[in-house]
Structure 1
């Protein structure tokens, strides 16, 4: 279809009777009554273009397909969105499902509308390994479009909401899959963007689709509330309203109704019965100004006494999604707690509509909507993290981790407030400040006291990160970080460090092997090296060197191929053609050199290396019983030794025989700690009434350090013997 098509060249406002306008279009125009007449005419033109493009297409329910995008526009109109968003919603499926192109939309309705439609368009036309990967890649593309214009996600959420409302026409499997995706991804995103009305409906529709029987039971119980409860609710509401009126606070007071999903999730999370969850009265007080919020708080506290420790001030410190409100819990007259939320009209609008509230303000005023500012910052963080993830699925998992409903609020030393997810650690805080701060973090000061990076943080703490230029991420960090930004940055840095170490070690190994051929990497003719790299599909020399270090390519074979014009007599016969000068290791070679668990070598031991595919060099002690087996593959032997400067802690294991009586284990553990060694694990090997044999897995710097640990243990009167395993 082209811009010259008659279907696209319709007049902007059809004359009465010229074209019959269906009821669903009239309903949309009624919902969009806040728009000027000229803009509503553009909506009708968009419907005409969309209807022509989708002509002949029907939904699974049998309705014309165009009813769906118009209904999506209706959801957005109820949120007060601008005309460009509504037009894009009407046309959001045209690029994907009809001959209409992006250029057609741009020429008819402008570049902004075309960009919005393109951002929402899914990637179904591409081929992926499975549906899960397709969905993840589609989400990744949508996120990048969101970063350019937040309205993309608003259209996507409205699209999902209408699909959930009309889910009945889908098969059982499709219903379950779509409902689970809604609860896992789209409802949390709506919450993260502060759009509570849409979030609540998505959650409830998802719950109904996944567990129809449970939903029906809870919904029936809510409807059939006992008369006594309704009377109690009315009594409490009357007392609160009376007090607020006496204080001359202009207000709107509404009782909060619980949804089946909120009741069900509370029953599961807190292991409470239906009666216990329902035994709470909830009210919302909406006032005119921030000062009146605190005035109203004093008023409700004078009617019913507040519960200690249950007051939360989200006005002074808003939630990460921009939500602001005062929360308090009161002692009720019927033995039931009363939850009260107090907020201004603007806060109420943002609480219900979140980022959509930005477009709902009249005359284009800028209300300083923090929900939109915070959402933009969150999306910018996600965009930064997706650049460092290896796959769409990994990125989607990171987003799921980042959609925490609960937050902790922390202070920088300068007094700035930072919001992090629940269970965040000092290391998460470091990465939230800046990626470089996280990468070089060594410890933290929490409320001026030294704390490890794994320390979990709680609201109100002041956190200062201590860094060192020489410090870098460790693989163990991934075990305790809670944010997607930290996890992505750590993985990216570890990959970079592993690659650098692999290239360095691969260079050394290939040079050694080339030395056996009477040449070296520097002396090889450049054309020959480039031809070999091209033949083996290596983009750069570094990629091949890393492959050699990781054991995916044998250095001897590469050397033979590169030096094939050299005289064969230059080949030294020792160790299968490998010269005997040793590679010296420092222990800091990440991901390229590993230490065998069968013999646990430490600096000072006589060692050998075995070249293992995918693992690089695995280091064994020469007296290891497995070495005899490795002698059968001399081409994989790597002569290695310890460098003069060795860094880090190395695993070692001790068998300690002690008296079998209380307190002995603590004495041995104290002796190990006094020798500046860390205990990783303790297990009993043998035990009888008199003697116990215990295995201690410890960390030491070298043989000298291990000897000192063993000496301290032997001095204990309860110890019968110490032996290295």
Structure 2
């Protein structure tokens, strides 16, 4: 616990004209009143009010607020009275202490109707003097920092209350740093494993990539020096809860999140803010839709800053906030900037707003409201800047995260409504499904029979519920497609041995292979989890082709003279089953091309070099390499799963090379050894049927390379 001298020194650092006698007297009075009282941790109870006062000194608050922090529990928990505090410290401080006491006595985590009434009282108390809530927020922050001494049940209750009420309130008042810490401390209690998981991944990421913050900060400083702009640059990793919330909202894993680092540039003038923006955008590519100018359009709590997100070092997305020093003070302190002192006088910050305006307007607006639920919903709409509340045509409220779309709204009503959604009207006007909803809007969903969710919807919606429902529907759709593909593969395989793929044959094969039935067999066959050949071998082992019957690759082509050898043209790489032609080379034997190969145009005036060839009609060995041009989702495990599927098709991967890497998709070339054109077709069908494959094409070189 810090002593009175240390506390006074903390105040004197920003307010040399502080009333030292007043603070020392309050310190002594508080210690006397709380003598003999102890916290659950075993520390003297007075260490808590002192810590709360120290937190408020970080916001450079006035003497009255610091003294209120020292005395905020005296009227409630000791023999002290309002009259005694008033006599010793004056009416202003007595009113503040009494206001904090009343806030403390509100049961803010009770039932919904009672909570609405408590919110009403909370805002009425705040409207008299907002310093009351500043002390209460600092009080809650210190309690959350020391929450481990409480019982597990009490920890969970306080963490929920903090997450639901105090953290959003701190954010709405502009104190984002306090909101971040309150949320993270609550997150530590409510989901310790989730938080630890993120921390472990951060450590792994730092070990793999080094200090990314320091590197990117250095990059920004170099660009500003080049532009001749004087500014301070700071960077940090975002808080674990902020990352967790982003993961939940986007449905993405940690490895797919890009903007997990935030950077601030503090300039000396507003003109320099836009100069910094230009320098950053000139050096790095801006991410569309991630630019906001709160300097030209400030928030209601006085917040001013430019926000932009760019693709920085190694393609990592980084968020950059640009503001002046005065704007930064308001951004850090929020409404507390109204009381901030500098060098002994009230700081004249042109961007600090009257802190009572928002609360006063809110209480005036609902002073005569009879419907408690309506009052609570409106309060939440004002407080929770990360949520939106929209209405159905019947007036029912639907709560959604900020950034939600009409599709999220549809799925929030019912999965069936979401699945069949074809359009939406917002405030009676038809809008695209990707429109971001705002507080208070009325949303009407238009549905149609036969409509099914589209894969692109995943990128449109913001809620986990909608993403899960869309993925489930897409999986069902994939299964039907896999069954259809599997039926065709089975038909071809059975006809190859002179049999028919009847329902009874497929059911019998499924039973022998340990599968639920013929539909399960066809689905797994279409998804390349089993091969058509294995199904045939299960029923007709004597008819299935054996490896001993395979054609030797050296005699796979018919039409060559006795001593002639052949090679496949690397431009088209033909495989058995495709029409081919040979081009004779002196000393090189014969190079075979697919009949439609573009490289053959170069030999049209040399007919003497053309040789009519065809592939042997027997079963070939899987030794013919073919390039597959794949575009796949950049998700964990996708490439490994596709490689496994290719192996299950009895094909061998000989080479892999990436052509393009994007945050959401990879494009690559896979060289695969195959048996013939039918084998190639089966592999490509299996790839095309995978939901994480955007496209698969046969890769051909533009020209002959021999």
Contact 1:60 1:169 in 2 (8 A): yes
Separation in 1, partners of 2:439, 2:335: 25
Q: Is the 8 A contact 1:330 1:338 kept in 2?
A: yes
Cα shift at 1:128: 12
Q: 1:323 aligns to what?
A: 303
Give the 5 Å matches for 1:657-676. none
User: Structure 2 residue aligned with 1:75, among 37, 55, 58?
Assistant: 55
Equivalent positions of 1:341-352 (< 5 A) are 341-352=321-332
Task: Determine the C-alpha separation between the residues in 2 that align with 1:216 and 1:129.
Answer: 27
CA–CA separation in structure 2 for the residues paired with 1:129 and 1:239: 47
Aligned-residue RMSD, C-alpha: 3.5
CA shift in 2, pair 1:128/1:116, >3 Å: closer
Q: In 2, distance between residues paired with 1:207 and 1:55? A: 34
Deviation of residue 390 (structure 1)? 3.8
Pair 1:219 & 2:212 matched: no
Cα distance in 1 for residues equivalent to 2:107 and 2:198:
42
Distance 1:275 1:124, change over 3 A: closer
* Number of the residue aligned with 2:357: 377
Q: Is this contact kept in 2: 1:43–1:83, CA < 8 A? A: yes
Query: How much does 1:84 deviate?
Result: 0.2
Q: Which moved more, 1:294-303 or 1:135-144?
A: 135-144
2:243/2:260 contact within 8 Å kept: no
1:31 lines up with 2:10 in the alignment: yes
Q: Deviation at 1:28? A: 2.3
Cα distance between partner residues in 1 of 2:373 and 2:224: 52
Pairing 1:181-260 to 2, within 5 Å after superposition: 181-230=161-210, 232-260=212-240
Q: Is the 8 A contact 2:264 2:320 kept in 1?
A: yes
Deviation at 1:242, TM superposition (A): 1.3
Once the 2 structures are TM-superposed, how far is the Cα of residue 378 of structure 1 from its aligned partner? Answer: 2.1
State the alpha-carbon separation in 2 of the partners of residues 128 and 328 from structure 1.
37
1:621 equivalent in structure 2: none
Match of 1:48 in 2: 28
Q: Which residue of 2 aligns with 1:334?
A: 314
Q: CA–CA distance in 2 between the matches of 1:88 and 1:255?
A: 35
Match of 1:693 in 2: none
Give the structure, 1 or 2, with the largest relative contact order (CA under 8 Å, sep 6 or more).
2
Task: Assess, with a 3 A threshold, how the Cα gap between structure 1 residues 24 and 56 changes in structure 2: closer, same or farther.
Answer: same
Aligned CA distance change for structure 1 residues 277 and 26 (closer, same or farther; 3 Å)? farther
Q: Aligned residue for 1:18?
A: none
Q: Is the contact made by 1:119 and 1:142 (CA closer than 8 Å) also made in structure 2?
A: no
| Superposed CA offset, 1:602-647 (max 9, x none) | xxxxxxxxxxxxxxxxxxxxxxxxxxxxxxxxxxxxxxxxxxxxxx
CA distance in 2, matches of 1:167, 1:178: 9
**Relative to structure 1, is the Cα distance of residues 215 and 89 closer, same or farther in structure 2, using a 3 angstrom cutoff?**
same
Distance (whole Å) between structure 2 residues aligned to residue 456 and residue 319 of structure 1:
29
Would the aligned equivalents of 1:123 and 1:134 in 2 still touch at CA under 8 Å? no
Q: How many residue pairs end up in the alignment?
A: 407
Q: 1:127 to 1:175 in 2, by over 3 A?
A: closer
Q: Give the distance between the partners of 2:109 and 2:277, measured in 1 at CA.
A: 56
- Alignment correspondent of 2:346: 364
- Structure 1 residues 123 and 265, CA, compared in 2 at 3 Å: closer, same or farther? closer
State the partner residue of 2:252.
272
1:294 aligns with 2:274: yes
Structure 2 CA distance for aligned equivalents of residues 78 and 313 of structure 1: 28
User: Shift of the alpha carbon at 1:36?
Assistant: 3.3
Alpha-carbon deviation of 1:260? 0.8
Q: Aligned partners of 2:387 and 2:351: how far apart in 1?
A: 20
Q: Measured at CA, do residues 131 and 338 of structure 1 come closer, stay the same or move farther in structure 2, by a change above 3 Å?
A: closer
Show CA shifts across 1:166-223 (max 9, x none). 1111111111111011011111011001001211110110111111222222223223
Question: 1:71-103 deviations in whole A, cap 9, x for unaligned?
Answer: 111110111100000001111111212221212
- Aligned counterparts of 1:220 and 1:198: Cα–Cα separation in 2: 24
Q: CA deviation at 1:331?
A: 2.5
**Shift in CA distance, 259/332, structure 1 to aligned 2, threshold 3 Å:** same
Partner SS for 1:121: helix
> In structure 2, how many angstroms separate the alpha carbons of the residues matched to 1:114 and 1:455?
54
Task: Confirm or deny: 8 A CA contact 2:339 2:346 kept in the other structure.
Answer: yes
Structure 2 runs not aligned, ≥5 long: 389-400, 406-424, 443-448, 451-706
Q: Does 1:118 align with 2:113?
A: no
Does 1:163 pair with 2:152? Answer: no
Q: For residues 50 and 315 of structure 1, what CA distance do their matches in structure 2 show?
A: 43
CA distances 1:534-553 after superposition (whole Å, capped 9, x unpaired) = xxxxxxxxxxxxxxxxxxxx
Tell whether the 8 Å contact from 2:134 to 2:336 is kept in structure 1 after alignment.
yes
Deviations 1:637-670 (CA, angstroms, capped at 9, x unpaired): xxxxxxxxxxxxxxxxxxxxxxxx99xxxxxxxx
TM-score, normalising length: structure 2: 0.53
Q: Which moved more, 1:300-309 or 1:348-357?
A: 300-309
CA–CA separation in structure 1 for the residues paired with 2:243 and 2:7: 33
Cα distance in 1 for residues equivalent to 2:346 and 2:259: 44
- Answer whether contact 2:268 2:325 (CA < 8 A) is retained: yes
Q: Who is 1:627 aligned against?
A: none
Partner-residue secondary structure (3-state), 1:308? coil
> What does residue 516 of structure 1 align with?
none
Bigger mean CA deviation after superposition, 310-319 or 289-298: 310-319
User: Counterpart in 2 of 1:698?
Assistant: none
Alpha-carbon distance between aligned partners in 1 of 2:11 and 2:72, rounded to the nearest angstrom = 18
Q: 5+ residue gaps in structure 1?
A: 1-21, 409-420, 426-450, 462-479, 488-660, 663-725
Contact 1:240 1:303 in 2 (8 A): no
Q: Kindly state the Cα deviation for residue 345 of structure 1 after the two structures are TM-superposed.
A: 0.8
User: 1:174 matched to which residue of 2?
Assistant: 154
Q: Give the counterpart of 1:86 among 46, 50, 66.
A: 66
Q: How much has 1:116 moved relative to structure 2?
A: 0.8
Q: Report deviation, 1:246.
A: 2.2
User: Which whole-Å CA distance do the structure 1 matches of 2:109 and 2:178 have between them?
Assistant: 32
**2:123 aligned residue (104, 128, 143):** 143
Give the distance between the partners of 2:311 and 2:108, measured in 1 at CA. 57
Q: Which moved more, 1:285-294 or 1:357-366?
A: 357-366
Contact 2:206 2:212 in 1 (8 A): no
Q: Shift of the alpha carbon at 1:330?
A: 1.8
